[in-house]
Amino acid sequence: MAEYEAELTMIPPEEIATGGVTSEMARRWQVLQHLQDRNETLFYKVLMENFVEMAPIIYTPTVGWVCSNYHKLYRRPRGMFFSAKDKGEMAALVYNWPQSDVHAVVVTDGSRILGLGDLGLNGLGIPVGKLDLYCAAAGFHPTKVLPCVVDVGTDNVALRSDPLYCGLTRPRLTGPAYYEILDEFVHAIMTRWPDAVLQFEDFQMKHALTLLERYRNHHLVFNDDIQGTAATALAGLYGALRVQGKGLEAIGKQRVVCVGAGSAGMGVVRMVAAGMEKQG
């Protein structure tokens, strides 16, 4: 813990002002990652015993800085990497994962990481951090979760030109070619682990809802941005009505303004509208 508490400048002051992540937070993330590399059992014990303090370190907001710099911070692989170059091979690739019993898979294509935009392969930091939370706070066993990234290129020119970037250095796939890759990935994952929940994380809005609707009637799929954030927002509105002494039916008389039209914002709008409709 001495290393965890030490002082070390890792982020320039101008980046702290715009991103909100301090050098202290970045350093503590790095210390925790080194601990997880050495002793995963101890890592989760420390995380569970200090969860309130460390949750913002292993996930938001620190994970945003981590994803922006993932190609510079990378030391050893976590999770599984799939790319457009693996087309036709994904059904075999999933068997490279050593665990035969996986309960939760979190996947991103890196197209909309938090409010940072297209980070390509670097977006893997989101599934890794999210599943660390699930293990520490929701009781998932670390051997039964799988973080994934599907690399279909990136439109981030700065990343494509960075020699340290590990992903495909080509523009992002779109249209039918994109959905062919995602179809193959989902089929491969759900064939090997048919009872697992597959969570889509930080996909662009133009793909997020389409993917959810594409697979929801066939597989156990979930989009945290569209469904998780929205459910929490609707619960907050119901709670506010209760504080005012009003019943749930009063939600239909409220005017709700949502700032932002990304997958989370539109998910909230859809969920609130569904709540209004349900309550008459």
Catalytic residues: 59, 130
145 close to 99: Cβ distance less than 8 angstroms: no
What backbone torsions phi and psi does residue 222 show, to the nearest 5 degrees?
-155, 140
Angle between helices 23-38 and 40-49 (to 10 degrees): 140
107 close to 150: Cβ distance less than 8 angstroms: yes
For residue 16, count other CB atoms closer than 10 A to its CB: 16
- Measured CA distances, 150 to 69, 96, 109, 182 (Å): 18, 16, 5, 8
**Does an H or E element contain 147, and which?**
strand 145-151
Of 79, 130, 105, nearest to 187 by C-alpha is 105
Q: What long-range pairs does 182-185 form, CB within 8 A, spacing at least 24?
A: 182/109, 182/150, 182/211, 184/87, 184/88, 184/90, 184/91, 185/82, 185/90, 185/107, 185/148, 185/150
- The span from the CA of 55 to the CA of 231, in Å, is 21
197 close to 112: Cβ distance less than 8 angstroms: no
178: its two tokens: 């994109």
